[in-house]
Chains A and B, each alone.
Chain A
Amino acid sequence: EDQVTQSPEALRLQEGESSSLNCSYTVSGLRGLFWYRQDPGKGPEFLFTLYSAGEEKEKERLKATLTKKESFLHITAPKPEDSATYLCAVHGTGFQKLVFGTGTRLLVSP
């Protein structure tokens, strides 16, 4: 069965303390892996799309990487405004829908 698992469920960091969020997936034929950021009460905001193992994308303090079984979202020197839930989703050839993980709640304290 196609699955997406994100870890940790919650992460508390001090401002400037770098860390990584994990998204592991089981899918038959990855077509795309997507990272979103979601603030409370709002819709997910698109961050990155990764298509193949070895691909990396960066945006400000965020960097997403992809292997054949997992993706990492690296957060370098986070700021309080990076506090949000980060969602990972995959689209595979075996299913015609986007499957989401349950997210990682990130809290960055000043």
Chain B
Amino acid sequence: KAGVTQTPRYLIKTRGQQVTLSCSPISGHRSVSWYQQTPGQGLQFLFEYFSETQRNKGNFPGRFSGRQFSNSRSEMNVSTLELGDSALYLCASSLTASSTDTQYFGPGTRLTVL
């Protein structure tokens, strides 16, 4: 079974631009969560989607948004990029949105903001 895939793997943008990242979950998984990972803050929860609905959102500004499609694929968007948005963005999928379900991570998208 194919794992979680994320595209693109690397991205370089400049301040003020916007970016869209994509995530395809493991086949059959309906929940997708997004995380931001930086050396200083570790893994920080962004948001979770299940059946095209956002179930939970982390403590990030409104510039960070996401959506999920009917095939469970998900995208996240960051508008008006800031230098501090440089990070590894990770997507994780799980079978359902249950808190006991294991989340499986993709390889991440490395975003660099210049």
Contact = CB atoms under 8 A, between A and B. Distances in A.
Interface of A: 31-32, 34, 36, 41-46, 49, 51, 87, 89, 91-93, 96-103
A93 B99 contact: yes
Given A41-B110, A42-B108, A96 B56 contact: yes
Contact of B103 (A41, A98, A99): A98
What is the predominant secondary structure among interface residues of chain B facing chain A?
Answer: strand
B42 A32 contact: no
Size category of the B interface is 20 to 34
A99 B56 CA distance: 13
Contacts of B48: 96-97
A41 B107 CA distance: 8
Nearest to B58: A97
- Which of A32, A97, A101 has its CB near the most chain B CB atoms (within 10 A)? A97
Given A87-B43, A97-B48, A44 B90 contact: yes
